Structure 1
Amino acid sequence: MTTHSSRYASRIRPTGMMGALGLLLLLSLAIAGPVIWGADASHLDVAAAQQGPSARHLLGTDSLGRDMLARVLSAARLSLILAVLATALGSAAGVLLGAFPTVLGRRGRRAWESAMNTAIAFPALLLALCVATVAGVGATGAVVALGIATAPNYARLTYTLASSVSGSDYVSAARILGVSRWRLMLRHILPNIADPLIVTTTLQVGGMLIALSGLSFLGLGVQSPSYDWGRLLSENLNRIYTAPAAALAPGVAIVIAGLVFNALGESAAALVRSDPAAAARTARPRWFSGVLRRTTAGPPQAATARQETTGQETAVPTADAYALRVHDLSVAFPGPAGPVHTVRGVTLDVGRGERVGIVGESGSGKTLTALAIAGLVPQPGRVTAGLMEIAGRDPASLRAPEQRRLLGSMTAVVFQDPQSSFNPALKMGRQLTEASEVHLGLPRAKAMRLAQDRLHQVRVPNPAIRMAQYPHELSGGMRQRAMIAMGLMGEPALIIADEPTTALDVTVQEQIVRLLGRINEDTGAAILMISHDISVVTSLCQRVVVMYAGRIVEDIGVTSLLEGPAHPYTEALLAAVPHMTSDRDQPLATIPGRPPQPLEMPCGCAFAPRCPFASDQCRSEQPPLEVRDGRRIACWHPRPPFPADRTGTTTTKMGPA
């Protein structure tokens, strides 16, 4: 088996090896050069001034008789120190300037972009010359000037990288937890973009060395009696024809040092590109970017859908009996002709301890509905609702800290891809404990013990070992279990599982479904499970909500669903599920056509173009969501309940496959 060290060694190219050897030589020269050759470099011998190369002075002497080889070797320390300092100043300022706007609001980010575009448009060399003149002639002024001149480019690169990370699931989760902006930036964003920044910084040292030498050559950098390679080049350039070795030696040193750092940077870039873990660190949406606004419309009558068909009046549950209440929820995004509604008037009540599934084709709005409930709709989405309550509390009526506490502790979100839901730069233990540290105020040691208990609760073997590992060291099933454990660090009343089994194999899918069911029984937390697989939902949930084109078209109990749905779309979804007893000689059942795009929404029933039972009324009028026989359904011509046959397909033909 190939070890990690041998894999990394195989990625190191000859260029990288030469760069590493060159860096070792430069560091040795910077440390030992002034000690070994410092005396010869400062010894004055006017009688031997401006001599050519000889056995005593291999590169000749300068105008005061000082040995040029000793001066070139001794100048390595100051040249490298100044280049590193200027690079560190420019990179540190640029990284902070580039990362901080990603945690600002929309207006703050726009203001930053305008200012940074102006700074980048200004020529860096001209900016460096101006700053050097203002800061004062000398090494300090040159370092400050070049640091300020390169900071905008670093900031732009950092901002681009950080923007790709700031929309990740783990960053969104940290926002909900109420993590401060500085902690969010330093802990969750910067560690995940460190690899390309380090590569850029390594490359920048070589360029900074050349730039500093140029300022010293022009008389704006290092001043006498100190000297660097640029200063030596300036002092001896007029001897290019009489003593070329003395004149060119500082320039050769500058070129060699620049090539060394460039080789190191290219080797580091190749290593990062070939390292999947590093690439993953540099590859969901901002918290509550759609502002939840209360509309004047009251809860629709469909909110009483969960009553039994006994003919008797059903008692109205109190608000405390619900883990989630959502009435008339809509999500809209700006469009060319006005707002485009991707979720339209969704009304959904989930009782405490209840298991409810949301199914539908891709683009039906089920995931956006869950994101709106969790406050994770991406910008520039706008969320509106007549009523939204989680565990009896309205997030829109709370102050920001209380709102974050409600969403961070009373709501748990399990995303589809656990790999993107965890911060790849942090160990599992630190990520699991963050919620309890922020909201419950637990000390680190107690939070770690709680995290181990939660991992044990979701049946993760060896919790102590897993907490010391990084996310990529866990299998997909283990990461999904750890994601569930993270949600249990508080006391969630609602667990939103967004396609929690899609990225897993069938065996692990069954384990996760059983785990969610056991957690529901043990903790009493309600589960809102989103899936495109209706068979997975029916194996866990008590009630199924079917969505199509951003609306709920049917809300039905699992028993009634299996006996026979009323909406043709639900019927078609059931028909498309293959079973072990399905006739393999027949083609798989499909639904003809495709769902409408948000910009192509018809004025009538959205499913009418694909429905074999559609009438003129269906094409011209949108059916309301009404309670019929103990279920909610939005259809002008609901199908009469009838049992499905043993193959899983209904007796009604939905059209050609």
Structure 2
Amino acid sequence: MRLPSRLRHSPMAWVTAVMLASLVALALAGPLVWGAAADRPDPSAVLQGPSAAHPFGTDGLGRDLLARVLAATRPSLLLALAAVLLGAGSGILVGACTAVLGRRGRRLTAGLTNLLLAFPALLVAMFLAVVFGAGAAGAVLALAAAGVPGFARLAQTLAAGVAGTDHLAAARVLGLRRHRLLWRHVLPNIAEPLLLSTTTAAGTTLVALSGLSFLGLGVQPPGYDWGLLLSQGLDRIYAEPLPALAPGLAVLYAALAFQMLGEVLAGSVARRAPASRTPAPAPGPGCGPAEDGAVLQVEDLTVDLPTPGGTIRPVRGVSLSLRPGEAVGLVGESGSGKSLTALAVADLLPHDARVSWRTLRLLGADLATLAPRERDRHLATGLAMIFQNPASALNPSLRIGTQLTEAVRAHRGASRARAAVEAADALRRVGLPPALLRARPHQLSGGQRQRVMIASGLMVRPGLIIADEPTTALDVTVQRQITRLLTGIRRDTSAALLFISHDIALVRDVCERVLVMYAGTVVESLPAGRLADGARHPYTRALAASVPDLAADRDRPLPTIEGAPPDPSAPAPGCPFEPRCPRRQDLCAEQSPPLQDLGAGHQVACWLPVPVTAAPESVTSS
């Protein structure tokens, strides 16, 4: 796992790397360099204390203890790693199988895991070491078997989050066998936390293995490891403490190295949170002027995303503005950049995304000039996000009241009682009873959860509401209720609404102005009332024509737009819609058209706009 740059410069990461490198070097070179001295008896130097010739002293046969401790690095580490890998591998397979087994298999596996977890792992290891027989092999098998239940429970918990995903259901529909489901769809999605747990468990297993050898259940003479050396030196601890402490210090050093490795890897994962995003640079002298009274003003917004094949630019030069109480629709095919634009405005893109702009103002504040903490607070209180799937946007483990009140308590310092009163008022405003404050998300219907999301946004009294396809997962009746609710809230609070949807007819009813996006850029901006018959861009005309109505001929297939959107990893120099446009000319393939102002709030990016009286030309039947 590659560490981010902050961890590569972390002192703890460097100390861990040095400790692990020293252990690896000792494991490789120890038997070769000190093996002969470790096994050579010297009757004249029996049970000597530390000296210049023998820094750690000698044992009962006169063998040098320093050489034996160094030479024991390889067997001690190899046996511990073998035990943890066997236990982790078996436990992970057992636990992950619950995602692909039937109901009875899952219940049986879960019950068996719970039963085994009731017994302390160390006592189980000691019992099994006696059963398997004293020796290195028996100790390794005993520790591996004792570690299986813990890894099985962890893998079972992680696999439960994958078991209900759509991609696993699709793989089942395709008829993939269980072993393919396990290796291709389950294990890759839970590998990271399992790796961290395995790394941390290596240190614990090393200590346990040394304990078994200390008790005489592990490595047997003439072999030796750190635990056996500790046992042999214990009877001299009061007269000569170093021969007993040296193997113990070696165990502590190695176990600490593995624990620190786990901490470093865990830190690497934790630092991938969105909070680690690098703020966009402050705009230079070219920053656009502020628009008086605008709730949101965006100019030349660009988003770059790194991919294995190189950096792509799914949003290119988007500009938009919203005034108080205004509803603006954002429409386009899937992949056109609508949601990415909204997430970039809300600063919710992944940490590795790069966002740039010429102007980005929210409620009059230039976001690029704010400190990170001030920007986060301004975004949290200035805008509200309503996501497409409220079931995943709400925390299933928290009550509705807790999720509604945490924002006002964190950002406005409201007391618990005051926040609860405001939450009850917010629920009433969206048509829900205050009794739902004690409910959990799974107890609500889809429409109720979406209303709760809207109520959560209203708690901070935002000036901008971004609704990212808020009605897609709802039935038609609930869709109408939600859109009426948003319209009423916009009218009562003067909040601006950025409404993102695939439903052209719905956008036309809810919004006053519509922005049409294609291939990451705005190709047309026009009043919503002119969307059906006044659009000038061929793509907008095709979108409007693809919306069925009651007068459509049911014997004919629904109109579709011919072709496919362009590949963002290989952008063409001209108009992105040129390969699909029936009105294309040579100029369209050479230069990308700018947005031209046609007057009356209408702009279009097209070299040859469609005449107002013309019928849609870019629609074909399929």
TM range (shorter): 0.5 to 0.7
1:395 aligns with 2:360: no
In structure 2, the partner of 1:52 is none
Q: Kindly tell me: are residues 577 and 367 of structure 1, through their superposed partners in 2, closer, same or farther at Cα, counting changes over 3 Å? A: same
Q: In structure 1, the residue corresponding to 2:365 is in which secondary structure? A: coil
In structure 2, the partner of 1:241 is none
In structure 2, the partner of 1:420 is 392
Q: Deviations over 1:53-100 (max 9, x none)?
A: xxxxxxxxxxxxxxxxxxxxxxxxxxxxxxxxxxxxxxxxxxxxx9xx
1:480 aligns with 2:450: yes
TM-score when scaled to structure 2? 0.61
CA drift of 1:288 comes to: 7.2
- RMSD between superposed Cα atoms in Å: 4.6
In structure 2, the partner of 1:23 is none
1:292 aligns with 2:292: no
Structure 1 contact 288–376 (Cα < 8 Å) conserved = no
Structure 2 contact 561–618 (Cα < 8 Å) conserved = no
Q: Kindly tell me: are residues 383 and 263 of structure 1, through their superposed partners in 2, closer, same or farther at Cα, counting changes over 3 Å? A: closer
* 1:265-284 paired onto structure 2 within 5 Å: none
In structure 2, the partner of 1:362 is 334
In structure 2, the partner of 1:441 is 413
1:570, 1:432 → 2: CA distance?
39
CA drift of 1:319 comes to: 3.9
Structure 1 contact 285–377 (Cα < 8 Å) conserved = no
1:371, 1:363 → 2: CA distance?
14
Q: Kindly tell me: are residues 635 and 271 of structure 1, through their superposed partners in 2, closer, same or farther at Cα, counting changes over 3 Å? A: closer
In structure 1, the partner of 2:430 is 458
In structure 2, the partner of 1:534 is 504
**Aligned counterpart in structure 1 of residue 402 of structure 2, from 423, 430, 447:** 430
CA drift of 1:601 comes to: 1.3
**2:458 aligned partner, one-letter code:** L
**2:608 aligned partner, one-letter code:** H
* 1:93-492 paired onto structure 2 within 5 Å: 107-108=6-7, 208-209=121-122, 213=126, 286-287=274-275, 289=277, 291-296=279-284, 298=286, 319-334=291-306, 339-460=311-432, 462-464=433-435, 466-492=436-462
CA drift of 1:423 comes to: 1.2
1:568, 1:484 → 2: CA distance?
35
1:364, 1:197 → 2: CA distance?
44
2:404, 2:561 → 1: CA distance?
42
CA drift of 1:390 comes to: 0.4
2:420, 2:569 → 1: CA distance?
49
Q: Deviations over 1:560-602 (max 9, x none)?
A: 2233201000000001100111111121100000000111211
**Aligned counterpart in structure 1 of residue 478 of structure 2, from 508, 512, 516:** 508
Q: Kindly tell me: are residues 203 and 299 of structure 1, through their superposed partners in 2, closer, same or farther at Cα, counting changes over 3 Å? A: farther
In structure 2, the partner of 1:543 is 513
Structure 1 contact 199–268 (Cα < 8 Å) conserved = no
Q: Deviations over 1:172-198 (max 9, x none)?
A: xxxxxxxxxxxxxxxxxxxxxxxx999
**2:360 aligned partner, one-letter code:** M
2:494, 2:581 → 1: CA distance?
39
In structure 1, the partner of 2:610 is 639
CA drift of 1:525 comes to: 0.5
Q: Deviations over 1:215-271 (max 9, x none)?
A: xxxxxxxxxxxxxx699x69xx99xxxxxxxxxxxx9xx99xx78x97899699879
Structure 2 contact 546–619 (Cα < 8 Å) conserved = no
Structure 2 contact 279–372 (Cα < 8 Å) conserved = no
In structure 2, the partner of 1:47 is none
CA drift of 1:294 comes to: 3.5
Q: Deviations over 1:457-490 (max 9, x none)?
A: 1111x222x1112111111111111001111111
Structure 2 contact 538–618 (Cα < 8 Å) conserved = no
Q: Deviations over 1:99-133 (max 9, x none)?
A: xx9xx98734996899889999989xx9xxxxxx9
Q: Kindly tell me: are residues 619 and 278 of structure 1, through their superposed partners in 2, closer, same or farther at Cα, counting changes over 3 Å? A: closer
Q: Deviations over 1:147-180 (max 9, x none)?
A: x999x99xx99xx9xxxxxxxxxxxxxxxxxxxx
Structure 1 contact 624–635 (Cα < 8 Å) conserved = yes
CA drift of 1:547 comes to: 0.4
1:654 aligns with 2:619: yes
CA drift of 1:208 comes to: 2.8
CA drift of 1:203 comes to: 6.0
Q: In structure 2, the residue corresponding to 1:367 is in which secondary structure? A: helix
Q: In structure 2, the residue corresponding to 1:563 is in which secondary structure? A: coil
Unpaired runs of at least 5, structure 2: 28-64, 66-76, 93-108, 167-188, 191-271
Q: Kindly tell me: are residues 641 and 327 of structure 1, through their superposed partners in 2, closer, same or farther at Cα, counting changes over 3 Å? A: same
Q: Between Structure 1 and Structure 2, how many residues are aligned?
A: 440
**1:331 aligned partner, one-letter code:** V
**2:619 aligned partner, one-letter code:** M
1:566 aligns with 2:536: yes
**1:654 aligned partner, one-letter code:** V
Q: In structure 1, the residue corresponding to 2:277 is in which secondary structure? A: coil
Q: Kindly tell me: are residues 590 and 277 of structure 1, through their superposed partners in 2, closer, same or farther at Cα, counting changes over 3 Å? A: closer
Q: Kindly tell me: are residues 363 and 448 of structure 1, through their superposed partners in 2, closer, same or farther at Cα, counting changes over 3 Å? A: same
**1:474 aligned partner, one-letter code:** L
2:555, 2:439 → 1: CA distance?
49
Of structures 1 and 2, the one with the larger relative CO (CA 8 A, separation 6+) is 1
1:290, 1:587 → 2: CA distance?
49
CA drift of 1:272 comes to: 9.0
Q: Kindly tell me: are residues 230 and 463 of structure 1, through their superposed partners in 2, closer, same or farther at Cα, counting changes over 3 Å? A: same
CA drift of 1:652 comes to: 3.6
1:382, 1:411 → 2: CA distance?
21
**1:209 aligned partner, one-letter code:** L
Q: Deviations over 1:589-627 (max 9, x none)?
A: 000000001112110000010000000011111101121
1:555 aligns with 2:525: yes
**Aligned counterpart in structure 1 of residue 562 of structure 2, from 592, 610, 624:** 592
TM-score when scaled to structure 1? 0.58
**Aligned counterpart in structure 1 of residue 589 of structure 2, from 608, 615, 619:** 619
